[in-house]
Amino acid sequence: MKEIRIGILGFGTVGAGVVEGIRKNGALMAERTGIVPVIAKIADLDIATDRGVEVPKGVLTTDAMSVIADEKIDLIVELVGGTTVARTFTLEALRRGKPVVTANKALLADHGEEIYRTAAECGVGIYYEAAVGGGIPILRAQRAGLIGNRIESIYGILNGTCNYILTRMEREGLPFDSVLADAQKLGYAETPPDLDIDGIDTAHKAVILASMAYGAPVPMSACPTRGIRGLAAQEMANADELGYRIKLLAIIKDNQGEVELSVEPALVPQEHMVASVSDSFNAVFVKGDIVDDTMYYGRGAGRMPTGSAVIGDIMEAAADKLNAVGIPVSVSMMLQRAALDYCPSVNIVKRCYIRLCLEDKPGSMAQVMAIFGRHNISIASVVQKERHETGYAPVVVLTQKAKESEFSAAMAEIEALEVSCCPPVRMRLEDFA
């Protein structure tokens, strides 16, 4: 049996979960791996609050830098969050030759390149399973089980808050605002909720997945991002009627050598497995050129699930350190090439759901259809609903595949029509074909 002495920075929700998990199953982990995890130090600015887990005397400190500098500490677990001191701590630990385990997706999305390069220069590892998909071992699947695969596509439901809101809107027919308010009351959504509902959190995770899939740090600017804020109940109802559900998806594809990347709400077929991922669960679908379709599902957030991922990384980092592995695959895979080519978002080819609001008079539809035709957009189906008391009729169009630039030009032209009485609503339709 060998000991590994751990310094934890940040004693919040996840930090307390990690400590609880190691207290509970540390002996089992040692039995399985031959490595005994020892929590040597925990640093937090607030060491007075009760975190719901017992900690031996002398372990708590307010001085994170002293933990990093402590020669008796073998590895650092960064759970501070944010991108300022977390960055400083992470870089400092790496420079001192200490492996770092982190759950910090924002840090890696914003400063990944600097961090991976520092790790490589220092010959040490950084491990970040918990940054994507909470307890789901998705990055490990990518960098180990699927290592022989060229990644063709990844679809992720990566934000539990959004998936919870969408599930309740769908099941209960409630409007976005009231479900959001409820989710905040129940602790499923933060206040303010922007990072989640505007898709930023999903985009953080998407760029990490894309970086690992294609071998270079992907900047946030390469990921067009749209969240679910203000999604109308009407869209949910229409999707349901047409045999679809709406999910906030991270979409990553190898588009003939260019990386296609986006975060957006999308209609997905009800019979596809992605549609059955409900409540606050996350899931990631990975298609490899050898393995074909695979899927990974679990809790994407929370004290214990995220703690589980951090603990998995701690044990791997410990084994790597004891075996003097040096630069692990979690670093080398991020630095295969200097930069990637991205598919400009205007070139993305996709299907769309479009809801129009047309004056209910002869020729309205013909004008719209002419615009679609001019932009090479084929129609898969059209449903015209009975007109509102207002005299306007909602029209729902599902298209075949067409180019984003054609869609946006067509939308502008349709909006400018005299018979169009409110801006069209458009969402991607992803049939996984």
Identified binder of a second copy from the candidate list 1, 48, 186, 290, rule CB under 8 A: 290
Burial of 318 (0-12, 13-18, 19+ CB in 10 A): buried
Q: Which amino acid is at 164?
A: Y
> Residues 110-139: x/- map of binding to a second copy (CB under 8 A)?
-------------------x-----xxx--
Closer of 8 and 304 to a second copy (Cβ): 304
Using alpha carbons, list the distances in angstroms from residue 320 to 120, 126, 357.
14, 11, 60
Q: Decide if residue 309 touches a second copy (CB under 8 A).
A: yes
Closer of 10 and 305 to a second copy (Cβ): 305
Count of residues that interact with a second copy, criterion CB under 8 A: 62
- Residue 372 neighbours by CB distance under 10 Å: 21
Question: H-helix or E-strand containing 36?
Answer: strand 35-43
Q: What residues form DSSP beta bridges with 394?
A: 357
362: DSSP letter: T
Window 137 to 156, contacts with a second copy (CB under 8 A): 137, 140-141, 143-150
Instruction: Write down the least CB distance from residue 15 to a second copy, Å.
Output: 14
Window 340 to 399, contacts with a second copy (CB under 8 A): none
Contacting range for a second copy; rule: CB under 8 A; set: 86-94, 216-224, 282-290, 409-417: 282-290
State both tokens at 191: 């206040």
Instruction: Write down the least CB distance from residue 54 to a second copy, Å.
Output: 17
391: DSSP letter: S
**Which long-range contacts does 166-173 make (Cβ < 8 Å, 24+ apart)?**
166/228, 166/231, 166/236, 166/245, 166/246, 166/247, 166/248, 166/265, 167/278, 167/279, 169/231, 169/233, 169/236, 170/236, 170/240, 170/245, 170/246, 173/233, 173/236, 173/237
Closer of 130 and 348 to a second copy (Cβ): 130
Q: Is 361 a catalytic residue?
A: no
**Catalytic option among 98, 205, 287, 321:** 205
Q: Decide if residue 253 touches a second copy (CB under 8 A).
A: no
Q: Decide if residue 329 touches a second copy (CB under 8 A).
A: yes
The footprint of a second copy (CB under 8 A) covers: 17, 21-22, 24-25, 28-29, 31-34, 129, 135-137, 140-141, 143-150, 215, 271, 273, 276-277, 281, 283, 288-299, 304-305, 307-309, 311-312, 315-316, 319, 323-325, 327, 329, 332-333, 336
Catalytic residues: 205
